[in-house]
């Protein structure tokens, strides 16, 4: 089965692909949203979740899929008390048929990051 690896930035130095397409599936690396498009810090879970999901939407556009194609997401959440607010914003990006999901409460790579989301989609 052929695979296609897509890196979104020509200047990316980290050792991963942003998108991998394999056998009808599309895998999206984890996205965060601790800064807005102008580089300003976002310090609450609602704005970070919204920014994260908007960044994922842009990645999905490049991959040729939509949120409707999502089959599995994993949400990494820094603070359990942010679950409800994250969930409300996250849910607004999906229609009636939502993907399965795991949510893990854990430390993230930077103290400023409150949420990270990765996704598996099927483009069959």
Q: How do residues 63-111 score in pLDDT, each as one tens digit?
A: 999 999 999 999 999 999 999 999 999 999 999 999 999 999 999 999 9
**Which residue ranges make up each domain of the chain?**
20-122
Question: Domain 20-122 classified CATH 1.20.1250.20?
Answer: no
Strands 25-32 vs 3-6: parallel, antiparallel or unpaired? unpaired
Confidence of residue 15 (pLDDT cuts 50, 70, 90): confident
pLDDT tops 80 at residue 113? yes
For residue range 44-59, list pLDDT tens digits in order. Answer: 999 999 999 999 999 9
Q: What is the pLDDT of residue 124?
A: 80
């Amino acid at each position: 089965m052929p695979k296609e690896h897509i890196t979104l930035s020509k200047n990316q130095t980290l050792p991963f692909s942003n998108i991998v397409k394999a056998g009808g599936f599309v895998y999206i690396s984890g996205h965060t949203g601790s800064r807005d498009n102008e580089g300003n810090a976002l310090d609450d879970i609602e704005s970070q979740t919204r920014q994260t999901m908007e960044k994922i939407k842009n990645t999905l556009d490049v991959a040729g899929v939509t949120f409707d194609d999502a089959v599995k997401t994993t949400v990494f959440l820094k603070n359990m008390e942010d679950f409800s607010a994250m969930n409300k914003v996250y849910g607004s990006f999906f229609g009636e048929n939502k993907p399965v999901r795991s949510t893990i409460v854990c430390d993230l790579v930077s103290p400023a990051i409150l949420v990270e989301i990765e996704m598996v989609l099927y483009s069959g």
